[in-house]
Amino acid sequence: MNMASPTSELTQNSRRSSMDPIPNDERVFGLPSYIAMWVSSMVVIQIFIVGQSFLPPSGALNIMQAIWVTIISAFILWVMFVLNSAPGIKYGIPFIVQARASFGYKGARIASLIRVIPAVFWYGIGSWIGASAMVFITETIWGWGNIWLFFILFQIAQTAIAYFGIKSIKWFDSILSVVVLGFLIYILYQIIQLGGLRLTENWTSAGSWGMPFFVAITASVGVLITASINNGDLGRYLENKPKNNYIGHFFGIVPMFILMLLIGILSAAATGIWDPIQALVSVIPSPLVAVAMMIFIVVAQFTTNLTINIKPPALVLVEMFNMKWGMAVIVVGFLSIATFPWLLLTSSAFNQFIAFYSAFLGPLLGILLADYYLIRKQKINVEDYYNQQVGYNWLGIGVLLISGIVGIIFLPISWMVSLPLSVVLYWGGYQLVPYYKKESQARVAKN
């Protein structure tokens, strides 16, 4: 049976059939366009904000320790993306279908909600940051700005681009990738030039290699652990060649992630300003360049939201309710407004918010990896993933809950504890629990 559907390509009229596997000859992305898409999508202002929190007074690290946090976090994220994108790239299936093996046909919807709820929050936060940048632009040029008007216009514009599906997202993100990269390099240069003495002071301070160091890694990875979980939604559109997975994610994600964290770290050291918009503007030498910078931030929020924050929850709505993609995108836009991003972004509990949701995202990723690599040995029967006979895999759901609760107990380093615990518990369940042990043995005999 050929599971591929002529409607698998995502358009404004796509429904549940768009969850069907995408054959390799119908993939939208080659390696260059996939890298370009991720380059533009990685301008996540939230990464910048996390970087700002590493140094005093918010954090307890010096610059050397913060740089090591950046390098380690980038490597961890690369490994996460490569490992969990493999099923989507190889078999052409989206995240919610991949999750059916671990959680059951209906249980996968529960798991997907754990992934997409943070995305809706991030969508709202990104739009609010973009609206703040618009206020700076209009106040500089015309002496007038209204953040609420710009916030709503921002939502409308992003919805309009995402409405038309995967090709619209691909071309918008890919075309802007060069502009995005150029601006980021310029920002970094300005910060280093103007930072001077304050950068030196933060370099020589004692800092900490203890718990604050690991908390910083937890927060850094936590910003993008969501994207690594459901990257099959994008990876399934990438040509299925072995090198595409590790090369595409290395060059698309690692350099940009390092650059964004470094900009946050160094801007905090150089300016002592904690508002991301004001911190960036403060290192720009002229009002004209500052306006260009704000335009860049606006564009950056578009590219990030389209790839990381709009697509995942919209796909879940399509799968759960057989809703048209275009309508799902509109619904997600309204939901992101209801998250009150103007309150969350200014809250002192911003990093705790990241740690709390990544407490459950860590085990979600761990279970997906354990199922694909340890239980199924990277060999799956795709048709089984579209079989509704198993509504819930209670082992996966139970491990997710237990590991998530443990992650909350160790909240400052949530996913560092909950992810490996979930791998051990899920794998152990298939070795020791009679029902799952029998299922595993039957699969081995079949193969």
Residue 145 has pLDDT above 90, yes or no: no
Helix (H) / strand (E) containing 190: helix 166-195
The amino acid present at 327, given as its one-letter code, is M
**Residue 370 pLDDT > 50:** yes
Residue 355 has pLDDT above 60, yes or no: yes
For the chain, the straight-line distance linking the first and the last C-alpha, in angstroms and rounded, comes to 18
- CA atoms within 13 Å, Cβ hemisphere of 402: 16
Examine residue 57 and say whether the peptide bond preceding it is cis (omega within 30 degrees of 0): yes
Q: Is the pLDDT of residue 349 over 80?
A: no
Does the pLDDT value for residue 341 go beyond 50? yes
Q: Name the nearest CA neighbour of 264 among 415, 67, 60.
A: 67
> Chain centroid to CA 66: how far?
21
Query: Over the chain, what is the mean pLDDT?
Result: 84
Taking the domain 42-445, which CATH number applies? 1.10.4160.10
Q: Residue 395 corresponds to which amino acid?
A: L
Given a cut of 60, whether residue 411 has pLDDT beyond it is yes
255 phi and psi, to 5 degrees?
-60, -40
pLDDT in tens, 52-106: 888 877 778 888 899 999 999 999 999 999 999 999 999 999 999 999 999 999 9
Per-residue model confidence (pLDDT) at position 447: 60
- Residue 197 has what pLDDT? 46
The phi and psi torsions of 29 (rounded to 5 degrees) equal: -100, 130
Q: Please give the pLDDT value at position 105.
A: 92
Beta bridge partners of 238: 29
Q: Which residues of 322-355 are buried (b: 16+ CB within 10 A; e: fewer)?
A: ebbbbbbbbebbebbbebebeebbeeeebbebbb
Q: What is the pLDDT of residues 161-199, one digit of tens each?
A: 888 766 666 677 667 667 777 777 777 777 777 655 455
